[in-house]
Amino acid sequence: MSLSTSDNSHYRSSPGSKLVSQIDQLQLIAQKDRSIDVPTSVRDFVAASVADNSRRAYTADLRRFSSHGGALPSDSTAVAVYLAQHADTHSISTLRRWMASLSKAHIAAGYPDPTKMEPAKSTLRGICRNRGEAVHNAAPLLRDDIFAVLDEIGSGIRDVRDRALLLIGFAGGFRRSELVGLDVSDIVFVRRGLVINLRRSKTDQAGIGREIGIPLGKTRHCPVSALEDWLRVASIESGAVFRPVDRHSHVGAGRLSGEAVSVIVKERVAAVGIDPGRYSGHSLRAGFCTSAAQAGVSSWKIRQQTGHASDAMLARYIRSAELFDGNAAGAVL
């Protein structure tokens, strides 16, 4: 059945239809209004306003909505029905992502956002309440754990790459997309370590960029030395820093994918007897945040490294780090 009360005539005649070309350029709705003539410069700027990964996610989510009878614009009831139809088959995080994609599409096209209206809002809240689903975040790969992993890594070229990737990912508190997006030109080795120019990130879609310092390590596992070793043995002088290595130890010219980072983390923790099912590429970032909080580093210094927008975003890591500090049970047992 159709999920929307909006028909095509309304879509074509709506005052907001002239803005649907934006959706087209964002690749959010592939079928809509391709005939609209928009200057190339406008198309390029609009396309650049959303990161590639986000654009692909919006595309997939909206095509799915369309395949289930959805349309743009949609009303809140249609969105609520869509959520209810999938409440038992998809995770709450997936439902939230679908809502975010629908919201972005409507706002970009100049339409009212149905996800912020009733009954869509109440429907999602009800699904969350009924399922009582806890958020399952990636387990943090803590300092002692990553040291245990590094102690078991060999000396082959893939081992050298993985050592550098794990240490730089951890020390920089990087998202996996930031880690695999690094180019040699983004890195400057200095007396006290290295400086990384992060050109773009999830919270910096405008591409303003920021600098991150990675200091020389004080332990046997130095991220700066590990990166120097990788660039040297792989003979990488320009382009992507972290690259695929085939079974013949040949280093590829392209860059690793974000998924590859997760695979590497899982393989390396499994090698030391840690359950890999709880870990992913995000475990490096989570592990840095939690380990830094355990070491007594202030939240603003952690955010300076990770780029988190607020202390609220760090709260779950800090709570995890403080679970046993002054624990009431510890005082009585």
Determine whether 240 is exposed, middle or buried from the number of CB atoms within 10 Å of its CB (0-12, 13-18, 19+).
middle
What single string gives the DSSP state of each residue in 109-164? HT---GGGSTTHHHHHHHHHHHHTPPP-PPPP--HHHHHHHHHT--SSHHHHHHHH
- Mean pLDDT, the chain, rounded, equals 80
- Give the active site residue among 176, 221, 268, 285: 285
Write down which residue in 65, 96, 131 finishes a domain. 131
127 and 167 inside one domain? no
* CB contact set of 27 (below 8 Å; sequence gap of 6+): 55, 56, 58, 59
152 and 286 inside one domain? yes
Active site residue 279: no
Dump pLDDT digits (tens) for 154-192: 999 999 999 999 999 999 999 988 999 999 999 999 999
Q: So what's the pLDDT on residue 6?
A: 40
- Give the active site residue among 11, 58, 111, 317: 317
| Alpha carbons 19 and 212: distance in angstroms, whole number | 38
Active site residue 247: no
Domain of residue 230, CATH code: 1.10.443.10
Paired strand residues for 215: 193
Active site residue 268: no
Active site residue 175: yes
155 and 99 inside one domain? no
Radius of gyration over every alpha carbon of the chain, rounded to an integer in angstroms: 23
Both tokens of residue 234?
């792989």
Number of structural domains (the chain) is 2
Angle at 25 between CA 19 and CA 31, to 5 degrees: 85
Domain span holding position 28: 8-131
Q: So what's the pLDDT on residue 206?
A: 54
- Give the active site residue among 143, 161, 243, 282: 282
Write down which residue in 108, 131, 154 finishes a domain. 131
- Give the active site residue among 32, 55, 143, 308: 308
- Give the active site residue among 12, 116, 131, 202: 202
Active site residue 202: yes
Dump pLDDT digits (tens) for 234-268: 999 999 999 999 989 999 999 998 889 999 999 99
Cβ distance 120 to 80 under 8 Å? yes
| Alpha carbons 153 and 220: distance in angstroms, whole number | 13
Q: So what's the pLDDT on residue 203?
A: 57
Which CA distances in Å does 279 have to 113, 151, 316, 320, 324? 35, 18, 16, 16, 22
Active site residue 250: no
**Which pTM does this prediction carry?**
0.62
- Give the active site residue among 175, 221, 266, 268: 175
Grouping H, G, I as helix, E, B as strand and the rest as coil, residue 35 is coil
Domain of residue 59, CATH code: 1.10.150.130
Q: So what's the pLDDT on residue 28?
A: 41
* CB contact set of 268 (below 8 Å; sequence gap of 6+): 149, 152, 153, 162, 166
Question: Of the segments 50-59, 235-244, 273-282, 308-317, which one has the largest average pLDDT value?
Answer: 235-244
Cβ distance 217 to 224 under 8 Å? yes
